[in-house]
Amino acid sequence: MSENLLEVSGLEKHFPITKGLFRRQVGAVRAVDGIDLQVRSGETLGLVGESGCGKSTTGRLFTRILEPTAGKIVFDGKDISHKSFSQMRPLRRDVQMIFQDPYSSLNPRHTVGSIIAAPLQIQSIPTPQGLKKAVQELLELVGLNPEHYNRYPHEFSGGQRQRIGIARALALRPKMIVADEPVSALDVSIQAQVVNLLDDLQREFDLTYVFIAHDLSVVRHISDRVAVMYLGKVVEIAERDELYKNPRHPYTVALMSAVPVPDPARRDRAQRERVLLTGDVPSPINPPSGCRFRTRCWKAQDICATEEPPLVTRLEDPESHQTACHFPIVEDEQVVGRRPASTPA
Partner 1 sequence: MVAYLIRRLINAVVTLLVVTLVTFGVFFLVPKATGSDPALLYIGKQADPVAVEGIRTKLGLNDPIIVQYWKFLKGIVAGRDYANGPDITHCSAPCLGYTFKTNQEVWPILIHALPVTVSLAIGAAIIWVLMGVIFGVISALRRGSIWDRSVMTIALAGVSLPIYFTGLLALTIFVYGLEWLPNADYTPFFDNPVKWFTGLLMPWVTLAFLFAATYARLTRANMLETLGEDYIRTARAKGLKERTVIGKHGLRSGLTPLVTVFGLDLGALLGGAILTEAVFNLRGLGYWALNGIRTNDLPTILGVTLFAAFFIVIMNLIVDLLYGVIDPRVRLG
Partner 2 sequence: MSKERPYLEVKDLTIRFETDDGIVQAVSGSSFTLEKGQTLGIVGESGSGKSVTSLGVLGLHRTRSNAKVTGEIWLDDEELITATDEKVRLLRGGKMAMIFQDPLSAMHPYFTVGSQIVEAYRVHHPGVNKKVARERAIDMLARVGIPQPERRFHDYAHQFSGGMRQRAMIAMALVNDPQLLIADEPTTALDVTVQAQILDLIRDLQEEFGSAVIMITHDLGVVAELADEVLVMYGGKIIEKGPALDVFQQPQHPYTWGLLGSMPRLDRDVRDRLTPVKGTPPSLINLPDGCAFHPRCPYAGRNGNRSFTDVPLLRDAGLGGPHLVACHLPPEERTKIFQQEVLPNL
Decide whether 92 or 220 has the Cβ nearer to partner 2: 220
How many CB atoms within 10 Å of residue 260?
10
Decide whether 19 or 338 has the Cβ nearer to partner 1: 19
- Give the shortest CB-38-to-partner 2 separation in angstroms: 23
Query: Which residues, 6 to 35, sit near partner 1 by CB under 8 A?
Result: 19-21
Give the strand order in the sheet containing 70-75.
Answer: 24-40, 4-19, 70-75, 78-79
Decide whether 157 or 289 has the Cβ nearer to partner 2: 157
Decide whether 75 or 251 has the Cβ nearer to partner 2: 251
- Give the shortest CB-217-to-partner 2 separation in angstroms: 4
Bridge partners for 39 per DSSP: 6
Between CA 62 and CA 64 the distance in angstroms is 5
Decide whether 81 or 223 has the Cβ nearer to partner 2: 223
235 binding partner 2? (CB under 8 A): no
Query: Which residues, 33 to 62, sit near partner 2 by CB under 8 A?
Result: 50-51
Decide whether 18 or 87 has the Cβ nearer to partner 1: 18
- Give the shortest CB-152-to-partner 1 separation in angstroms: 23
Query: Which residues, 267 to 306, sit near partner 2 by CB under 8 A?
Result: 267, 270-271, 274, 276-278, 280-281
- Give the shortest CB-18-to-partner 1 separation in angstroms: 10
Give 189's contacts (C-beta < 8 A, 6+ positions apart). none
CB 325 within 8 A of CB 309: yes
Give 291's contacts (C-beta < 8 A, 6+ positions apart). 297, 300, 304, 305, 307, 308, 309, 324, 325, 326
- Pick from partner 2, partner 1, none: which does 20 bind, CB < 5 to 8 A by kind? partner 1
From its phi and psi, is residue 126 left (phi > 0), alpha (psi between -120 and 50) or beta?
beta
Angle among Cα 184, 250, 300 to the nearest 5 degrees reads 135
- Give the shortest CB-24-to-partner 1 separation in angstroms: 11
- Pick from partner 1, partner 2, none: which does 19 bind, CB < 5 to 8 A by kind? partner 1
Contacts with partner 1: how many residues (CB under 8 A)? 3
Q: List residues near partner 2 by CB under 8 A.
A: 50-51, 157, 159-160, 187-193, 195-196, 199, 214-218, 220-221, 240-241, 244, 254-267, 270-271, 274, 276-278, 280-281, 339-340, 342-345
Q: List residues near partner 1 by CB under 8 A.
A: 19-21
